[in-house]
């Protein structure tokens, strides 16, 4: 297979990647047939996957605007993905032109495309780093060169923690980040769950099997387990809820939306 210009040298384009599959669900063009094939397989079990991803992106944008409205002007977005429509820096800098955004991802396509998109923006950077090694993120010179971690930051962990297996200690990693943040900081988080999916668990589990097969397991956690990522932080109203229920822009009743959008959870916590 020929390697297109946007794909960095050395990446294995014979194995599906989580970030390129996500790009496909969202209608992006930074994916290969191998990614589309795996994504279509996952959608055979969970046809509403793109709807879940759209609800996730919409939640993220509302949460970023909420952060700016509450005076936050620094964002650390870990597991930021391949840039698509309405990225964090666009939403944050539209609301506050001085807002600074540091993106972090471990996927080389996400990093390369972010670099291209951010060229010329001196208030946004992308660092190649791994959420499983939070110390390296906190000490990364690209990040510390842009963000002042002694001031409040909105830490985004959006649709990423469900790719961290318990053996890789996601709770310890998030605790380290939580502790490093200044008072007034926010954690913006979404996470996949069997709770809320409008299908029997046995059917939805087929999707989990697809991710397991591509050696990037998708870890479904309960609402109770997800709430533990916010330990010590105060939950911003309305708490940890299904994504369309978190401060919707319009008074439209959530029931009018696609039932798949109610899969999983989103919430924002604040450090007192």
Ligand X SMILES: C[S@@+](CC[C@H](N)C(=O)[O-])C[C@H]1O[C@@H](n2cnc3c(N)ncnc32)[C@H](O)[C@@H]1O
Given the rule CB under 6 A, which residues bind ligand X?
A: 18-19, 22, 56-57, 60, 78-81, 105-107, 110, 130-132, 158-160, 163-164
Shortest distance, CB of residue 5 to ligand X, whole angstroms? 20
Closest CB to ligand X among 25 and 230?
Answer: 25
How many CA atoms, within 13 angstroms, populate the side-chain half-sphere of residue 19?
24
Shortest distance, CB of residue 20 to ligand X, whole angstroms? 9
Closest CB to ligand X among 144 and 200?
Answer: 144
What DSSP letter does each residue of 146-170 carry, written as one string?
A: H--TTS--EEEEES-GGGS-GGG-H
| Partners of 188 in beta bridges | 156, 268
Shortest distance, CB of residue 88 to ligand X, whole angstroms? 8
Closest CA to 194 of 14, 5, 35, 45: 45
Shortest distance, CB of residue 82 to ligand X, whole angstroms? 6
Shortest distance, CB of residue 80 to ligand X, whole angstroms? 5
Euclidean distance between CA atoms 93 and 73, whole angstroms: 9
Closest CB to ligand X among 150 and 211?
Answer: 211
Closest CB to ligand X among 13 and 110?
Answer: 110
Using CB positions, name the residue nearest to ligand X.
Answer: 81
Closest CB to ligand X among 164 and 236?
Answer: 164
SS3 172: helix
Closest CB to ligand X among 79 and 152?
Answer: 79
For residue 77, give both structure tokens: 């977005």
For residue 21, give both structure tokens: 């599959």
Cα dist from 60 to 3, 17, 87, whole Å: 32, 22, 9
Closest CB to ligand X among 113 and 234?
Answer: 113
Looking at the chain, how many residues does it have?
272
Q: 10 Å Cβ neighbour count for 161?
A: 22
Shortest distance, CB of residue 34 to ligand X, whole angstroms? 16
Number of H helices, E strands in the chain: 10, 7
Shortest distance, CB of residue 71 to ligand X, whole angstroms? 23
Contact indicator for 228, 171 with CB cutoff of 8 Å: yes
């Amino acid at each position: 297979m020929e390697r297109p210009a946007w794909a960095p040298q050395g990446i294995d384009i014979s194995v599906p990647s989580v970030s390129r599959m996500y790009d496909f669900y969202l209608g992006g063009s930074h994916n290969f047939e191998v990614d589309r094939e795996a994504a279509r397989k996952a959608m055979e079990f969970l046809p509403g996957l793109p709807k879940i991803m759209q609800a996730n992106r919409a939640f993220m944008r509302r949460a970023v605007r909420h952060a700016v409205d509450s005076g936050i002007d620094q964002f650390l977005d870990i597991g930021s993905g391949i840039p698509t429509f309405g990225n964090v820096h666009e939403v944050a800098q539209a609301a506050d032109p001085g807002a600074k955004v540091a993106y972090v991802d471990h996927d080389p396509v996400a990093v390369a495309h972010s670099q291209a998109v951010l060229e010329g923006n001196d208030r946004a950077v992308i660092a190649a780093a791994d959420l499983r090694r939070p110390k390296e993120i906190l000490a990364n010179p690209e990040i510390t060169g842009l963000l002042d971690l002694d001031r409040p930051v909105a830490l985004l962990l959006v649709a990423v923690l469900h790719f961290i297996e318990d053996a890789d200690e996601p709770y310890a990693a998030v605790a380290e980040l939580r502790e490093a943040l200044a008072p007034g900081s926010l954690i913006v988080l979404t996470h996949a769950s069997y709770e809320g999916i409008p299908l029997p668990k046995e059917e939805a589990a087929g999707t989990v099997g697809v991710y397991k097969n591509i050696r990037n397991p998708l870890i479904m956690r309960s609402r109770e387990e997800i709430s533990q990522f916010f330990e010590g932080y105060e939950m911003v109203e309305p708490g940890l809820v299904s994504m369309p229920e978190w401060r919707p822009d319009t008074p439209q009743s959530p029931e009018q939306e696609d039932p798949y959008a109610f899969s999983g959870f989103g919430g924002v916590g604040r450090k007192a």
